[in-house]
Chain A
């Protein structure tokens, strides 16, 4: 009797899930391809998990409310079928979670392997930024028409494939741009990659925030940087201005300035100083 009622509660609960799953639309206005994938997963998970959580908590409270003044306890009987049923039901729900997640993980914009990133960097249309982290700030190295320059802000073009090559000079850091759905740890002696494409709608004057998300010591919570998303023409303009400036500085510089310029101009040299042989070798084609 009560066993039936319990299973009917469970069935109703699972039925109740259906509209939520159906209603879970793909994220309407995601900020980047990456966050589109991730928001999709996140929303689907929420659509499934929220009702399950509410139902299970509800059953818990209902059981307490209903049986707190019961006259006597009914003896416990083993019920193998019920055990197997809910084990299987949980497995199905978790399998669903796994499949949803796995679907998104296939995209290199979510999880870029080293090979994926190398291939993307070779494509001529890709904007590559070398994100260099140190206690406690960021530097962003660009290459524009053969000229290297460095920026204090991460400026990115919209509607264009972007690869961030991430390194650290000292301890671990992590690039964390929640508004664009981007995150990856930064290591000394290792290069990690983020690949994405930012949507046109994300172009705005107000900068997004890049946080350091891996504990790195005293300055950790101040290790922020601005992320500015520009549309392609504005980005081109900004990049050529920066490159122009860098060229002028390099040509009209005194000796100490030129050493500074070498550091920034030879992006790859800076890389090699920290990268393992393997990553350096892999990075070579992108020069």
Chain B
């Protein structure tokens, strides 16, 4: 057999990569041009010691909840970039009615692949991992635990994610190197029989990735539940003093435990249908409706899996900058639990147009409306927390307020959609798209940005650039509202969703939505640049209480931990080794 040049080239390339990888793992301070002492505390260690190796090996082998929290967050930001790029490609294409911008790259097929990956990425690879990132870093500190209950499972759960992601994104990159595996074009809801009959290995690869990400999430959830229930310091943090973010993470964990097995089962059945000739979703017994019931029985709790922790973040951050305690703490906890339970009874409101029994639609409408009550209660409590406070409009505060502003519109439009007759015309139009983007970007995204700025000093030891953060906020809130309100108006006009091309009469509002999307993009660029620059070169935080929380008696556990860490570091003679400090703190 003749050795082809390609093979030789591949082997050489592989060897080169191995050498580079080996060099990187040995390299300690890999960013040579950082100031002496390395980056922030989380960024890199000055030198290795017996507990934690230095350089890349540390990040590849870590089981420390704080390191994994940072890895999750970085992963979430990378996924956010991909989700954002795909969104912008679609928005640019949608500026004009015809197929033009994407035409030479793959046309409608590429558009459909983009809409699939955008949805999946933003929900499962951006929002969920970023929530897990903050929860990983902060929950053990908030509940006074030494680490997560199962540190190794924690690491496994994280490391599954990059591989799941490679599988889910592979279809976009493999064709570039000549492998014929196309990206899935099924839309994120994977409705059968389209998804069960669509040709191509790409869909299977994508499904396997989706599957894997579900394992990761489930492991994470078990870990959080165990940590909050069993590792919590029951003297310092009894249930009555558990903070609101941990409450929402606990509720989220419960939802994940009940919802994700359904997804796993459904995806397994779909894979069997596609590859082994089973007939779960093809036959006449359950067929297409079975998929929808299974998918939404997972899918609607998933919405609350994603929105409850951000609600917790806002409930945690808002009072800190209002200078007073959260109004109605108990009611916010109750409403969180109420939403968690009710969320399992609303799934068929995604299916009002399927011709299901009208009496059934009425009961699903009733529960969908009922879930509006605890959501509204939260909004009123947040506003009342601001009332009579001493507000400090820092970046985390602005994003928390922005969350409330967006959530009001997202919630009200959601109530509209719960009303069956309204849903019957609006289902699968841009109205739905506008509604859930107000929630997913306007609320979930904003809360995550707020958390990022709020905890930035703890995670990096540095302060973000305030001016850039303000740009980020104003561009995001203006761009978001412009885009998503334009989508609501398109929905009123009857514009169906998932359309690569559309009738010219919709052009004006599509153009407005695109302009808004560009405004948002500038904001996001400011955010990423800010995080990157500030983490490496930002101004160092000069106290354990950068937000002046002691003043209003809200100096909570994670900041106490941080202050303790700083003090031991100073006692050490300013040695900037996070691990030393930690070891001393533990003594």
Contacts and interface: CB of A to CB of B under 8 A. Distances in A.
Nearest to B116: A215
B404 A217 contact: no
Q: Which of B194, B429, B496 has most chain A Cβ within 10 Å?
A: B496
Contacts of A114: 355
Contact of A176 (B191, B412, B496, B498): B496
Interface string B483-497: 000000000011011
A193 B358 CA distance: 12
B415 interface: yes
Q: Which of A38, A64, A110 has most chain B Cβ within 10 Å?
A: A64
Contacts of B502: 221
Interface in B292-322: 319, 322
Contacts of A86: 376-377, 380
Contact of A64 (B330, B391, B424): B391
A24 to B, nearest CB: 14
B494 A74 contact: no
B369 A73 contact: no
A222 interface: yes
A78 B497 CA distance: 45
Interface stretch (A53-61, A198-206, A228-236): A53-61
B574 interface: no
Contacts of B216: none
A209 B503 contact: yes
A212 interface: yes
A184 B353 contact: yes
A98 B377 contact: no
Interface stretch (B61-69, B247-255, B283-291, B540-548): B283-291
A41 B421 CA distance: 7
A222 B498 CA distance: 11
B112 A218 contact: yes
Contacts of B278: none
B404 A60 contact: yes
Interface residues of A, number: 80
A165 to B, nearest CB: 11
Nearest to B191: A172
Nearest to A88: B373
B372 A181 contact: no
Contacts of A74: 324, 388-389
A71 B284 contact: no
A78 B454 CA distance: 26
B420 A101 contact: yes
Contacts of A171: 191, 193-194, 197
A60 B397 CA distance: 13
Given A105-B421, A176-B428, A221-B500, A60 B193 contact: no
B57 interface: no
Given A41-B419, A193-B355, A276 B284 contact: yes
Interface string A22-64: 0000000000000101100110010001001100110110011
Interface string A66-98: 011011111110110011001100110011011
B376 to A, nearest CB: 4
Contacts of A56: 379, 383, 408
Q: Which of A2, A82, A172, A276 has most chain B Cβ within 10 Å?
A: A172
A215 B191 contact: yes
Given A76-B324, A172-B194, A67 B386 contact: yes
A64 B365 contact: no
Interface of B: 108-109, 112, 185, 187, 189, 191, 193-194, 197-198, 284, 287-289, 319, 322-328, 330-331, 353-355, 357-358, 361-362, 365-366, 369-370, 372-373, 376-377, 379-381, 383-391, 393, 401, 404-405, 408-409, 412, 415-416, 418-422, 424-425, 427-429, 493-494, 496-503, 552
11 contacts: A37-B421, A60-B405, A68-B393, A73-B324, A97-B418, A98-B366, A185-B355, A213-B496, A215-B191, A215-B428, A217-B185
Question: Sorted from nearest, which 3 A-B pairs have the closest CB atoms?
Answer: A178-B494, A73-B323, A192-B355
Given A2-B388, A213-B427, 5 more contacts: A38-B424, A94-B415, A97-B419, A105-B362, A179-B494
Interface of A: 2, 6, 35, 37-38, 41-42, 45, 49, 52-53, 56-57, 59-60, 63-64, 67-68, 70-76, 78-79, 82-83, 86-87, 90-91, 94-95, 97-98, 100-102, 104-105, 110-114, 170-172, 174, 176, 178-179, 181, 183-185, 187-190, 192-193, 209, 211-222, 224, 276
